[in-house]
Amino acid sequence: MAYQATATAPVNIAVIKYWGKRDTALILPTNSSLSVTLDQDHLRSTTTSRADAAFQGPDRLWLNGKEEEIKDGGRLWVCIKELRAWRREMEESDSALPKLSEWPLRIASYNNFPTAAGLASSASGLAALVSSLSTLYALPQSASELSRIARQGSGSACRSLFGGFVAWREGTSPDGSDSLAEQVEPASHWPEMQALICVVSDAKKGTSSTSGMQRTVATSPLLSARLAGVPARMKAMESAITSRDFPAFAELTMADSNQFHAVCLDTSPPIFYLNDVSRAIIALVEEINRANTTPIAAYTFDAGPNAVIYAQAKDMPVIITAVKKFFPTEQEFTDPLKVGEAPLPQGFNDTVVRHGGWEKGAVKALIHTRVGDGPRVLGESDSLLGENGLPKVLA
């Protein structure tokens, strides 16, 4: 007898950044953070989990068709262990339930965006794992309760368990029980919010965020000042979102991205994620906002050179026009949201970006998407596992 469940989970891009752990084992952050969940129609991780009494040996997991080791005590292992423990509790209190918690698992996960896109896949991947397993086990826990588990797999994964605008509350408890995600507003509250991801080439592999953030915690004299300011910034951001105040959202988003990269630079040895192309995208967005008088776009950068530019649907044509003009991509851009293009604002000073724009491919690709909902449960036909319990070969 076999049971299985398939779920998808979205990518989220923080506008108040998570950078630093106060507990590295439990993944408890040094500050609360806030993100926008992106539409799974465009970017998603899909995971199928199957429990079968006939499976032999330990649990097994494949990521994009390649088997990954589930290391004892590792992050994947912890997530599976905790969800299985909840299932066991259910089985113990209701003997009619099949003993899924005793059966080995086969898990296959797949990201629909290329690794080369430089988008962190750990958040959506872990969220899809937790969603599929909690569905398989028919767990009654809420998304916030599940987010505590996802957090231990990959900190920011907890935010991918919700759609819309999502806060990860740092919490105060040493056991991490109150360090979890919750929805600030659903996607339907502000559906005009869109994102343009500019995939930027980088010659050099940067510092991993896991090691980088702890180096910042250990060495940056400025980090404590950042942490002291985050609660007020979180409050202001939530208020900007609730009131759909885009200029306030933009100012806070850009300031927080810049401050995150500032504490990276204040780290010893310093950590750099922004390169000359990233800087040029910042200059472009700042100039569009200046020429427009009020901000219509907000850049933010995670632990890499890629820009994510948030803008409302009505303003996205201007942003796309500007980015295409100064950063011609190698891959032609076809816009799934078909917003079109529009002229740059009057008084826009094009000398802020390198004369004539950048060489083709400085920005490799553009991905246009929008705010979206949380994890989705799919049907049997979407299973990533074949009858034999091994991953299907995807075209």
Task: Closer to its own copies by CB, 169 or 261: give it.
Answer: 261
Nearer residue to its own copies within complex by CB, 163 or 305: 305
Start-to-end CA distance of the chain, whole Å, equals: 29
Which CB sits closer to its own copies, 92 or 276? 276
CB of 351 to its own copies, least distance (A): 9
Q: Does residue 236 touch its own copies according to CB under 8 A? A: no
Single out the residue of 48, 50, 49, 61 nearest to residue 1, CA to CA: 50
Pairing outcome for strands 105-111 and 44-52: antiparallel
Q: Which residues pair with 308 in a beta bridge?
A: 197, 300
Site for its own copies in 351-380 (CB under 8 A): 354-355
Encode 174-206 in three state secondary structure. CCCCCCEEEEEECHHHCCCEEEEEEEECCCCCC
Short-list 201, 179, 190, 195, CA closest to 118: 201
Beta carbon of residue 295, minimum distance to its own copies (angstroms, whole number):
11
Given the rule CB under 8 A, which of 147-155, 251-259, 318-326, 385-393 is the region that contacts its own copies? 251-259
Applying CB under 8 A, does 292 fall inside the site for its own copies? Answer: no
**Which part of the chain contacts its own copies (CB under 8 A), choosing from 31-39, 163-171, 256-264, 365-373?**
256-264
Asked if residue 262 binds its own copies (CB under 8 A), the reply is: yes
Q: Which is nearer to its own copies, 71 or 355 (CB)?
A: 355
Least distance (Å) between residue 65 CB and its own copies: 29
| Adjacent-strand bridge partners of 371 | 38
Q: How far apart, in whole angstroms, are the C-alpha atoms of residue 345 and residue 292?
A: 6
Among the residue ranges 16-24, 79-87, 264-272, 376-384, the one whose residues contact its own copies (CB under 8 A): 264-272
Q: Which is nearer to its own copies, 222 or 342 (CB)?
A: 222
Q: What is the largest CA-CA distance in the chain?
A: 72
Judging by DSSP bridges, how do beta strands 44-52 and 33-37 pair with one another? unpaired
Give the separation between CA 84 and CA 204, rounded to whole angstroms.
40
Q: Which whole-number Å values give the CA distances from 91 to 6, 100, 268, 299, in the listed order?
A: 22, 8, 51, 48
Shortest distance in whole angstroms from residue 35 CB to its own copies? 21
* Residue 255 binds to its own copies (criterion: CB under 8 A): yes
Residues that bind its own copies (CB under 8 A): 203-204, 221-222, 224-226, 229, 251, 254-255, 258-259, 261-263, 265-270, 272, 275-276, 279, 282, 286, 290, 354-355
